[in-house]
Structure 1
Amino acid sequence: MLRSEFDQWFANKAVEAGATLVSNIRVEDLLWKEKKVAGIVAGEDKIEANVVIAADGAVSFMSEKAGLKRFYVKQFALGMKEIIELPEKTIEDRFNLTNGAGAAQLFVGQCTKKIPGGGFIYTNRTSLSVGIVVYIDRLIEKKIDSHEIISEFNENPVVAELIKGGKILEYSAHVIPETSRSKLFRDGMLVVGDAGGLVVNNGITLRGMDMAIASGAAAAEAVKKAMEKNDFSNECLSHYEDLLKKDFVLKDIDTFSRAPEFLQNHRLYALYPEIACRLFHNLTAVDGAKKRVFDEILKVTKGNRTKMILDSIRGLRAL
């Protein structure tokens, strides 16, 4: 799915349903009335509203101004993505696809310069989505240019062969909330999607779009109920969180609540990929008398077995 196409289609659906779309406007502040959120401020314009729904992304200044969340850099990851155009037949041949099927490839280890995170390639019909996700605090700590990482990823022989001859159509970067969801409601205000930290990362999939759509639908239901009662208080709008608890959103977030901390373990991106590579090299190399598989495993894990056992237990609990 291409966001440039989907977002426009989705916005048009909202307009068809009666919404007014106003683009290229920066919301700078909230309006307050008797300690309740009562609208927004955009430049010189002040727009009153019974309920403000904050959907302003991971670094949600509106939820911060409403006192619902405080931000720390270690809460966030940075996602960088390129859309690379290739002929449909070329994509099918390179990824061994038939009958309109697609492919997703995930990468871990050197692709992020051993910073917690990973790389990905998703096939579209006539393009590839190619990118990297890394933790921002580790980027700052190691003083690495984010663009340097995605450039080196594209130059990796495995990736370079898949994107060879392609034309870059789009480049985008996106801040992703990895830990600590905000409080999701208060008098006159609800928070949805990335703005509320409603993202699930289980190490294999990074889910945000489904969470954003589901939380937006729940917010609409909560506001509808509040309008029927003409009550936009904290107590009435708490129905929004009740809906999220009944649906999959908060259930899945709670299920994988330990995952973000586990996935910041630096051994997952340096030591363990190196051990895996050494093991497969030793198993497949023809260089004399061979050891049993179990003996090779003992050899490459020497000195790290306790760490591996403890990390395996943590992983089973988190994922």
Structure 2
Amino acid sequence: MVAMAAVPGRSAAAEPYPAAPVRLIVPFPPGGPVDSVGRLLAGKLGAELGQSVYVDNKGGAGGGIGAQAAASAEPNGYTLLLGSTATISILPLINSSVRYDPDRDFTALAIAATGVQIFVVNEKVPVRDIPGLVAYAKSSKRPLSAATGGSANPFFIAMFEKEAGVEFLHVPYKGTGPSLADVAAGHVAFTVADTSAVIPLVKAGQVRALGISSLQRSPLAPDIPTIAEQGFPGFEAGGWFGLFAPRGLPANVQRRLVDALAKVASDRDMNEQLLRLGLTPSWSVGEDAARNVRKENGRLRSVAATMNMQPQ
């Protein structure tokens, strides 16, 4: 009986929460932008909860393996998910093997930050802007190779292919880090990746930035023109990062997590570190977060329908 009492379960509704360490599933390998956000949030949330929050990297299937593990976990507050546009909004639209429903199987606790994508090529590719990339891709005898890591990345590349009337040869990778590494090494021509991951490589001269996918230039990279201003008005591709739990949390546990995250949201150091990661602090907590996620899920479903995109 003593051993059973020590195991967090549905009895969490009747005991102070948290009474044991909390697992935060990050559905991508260590080292990428999602992992960086997850570790930052784990440290700050753990301090507010007075209990350790540890990161469990479960990469694979574009984030689907980790997200499914979180969706299937006991809804007791001891398993959380570092969710993102990729795993919550996009992956169910493009991957027929996904078994979770983002609206049905998760409770949104908080959205912490937003980021945008930068289109980059390796230094061997003789283009310096988006029109040049389109012209080069159309004139090449073979499709230009594009590294795709995760799930948001191929979706955004597909959006651009539709807009520009070009077709790339998609080369899949397990995450942003490996895909960018091969572009920098000259093995793949082109990719799209988070600002936080790209800017250090741009500054080091390892890749060449062509355009950024926000509607306005980013203060983090003011010299990089938007794709919208280069002949594709309205083109926008980006994402958010936030914390989710399996649907069905006890009310006291959900309230405790939301209250703790509201304090994390006002933590100056937390937001400064998000900025250093190349992200914009864009907090919404509790029902506000849930509303924003539902809105984004609907928006991207409309985009996928416009593109006639079917799950593969």
TM-score strictly above 0.5: no
> Aligning the two structures, in what range does the TM-score lie when normalised by the shorter sequence?
under 0.3
Question: TM-score when scaled to structure 2?
Answer: 0.27
For the pair shown, which has the larger CA radius of gyration, 1 or 2?
1
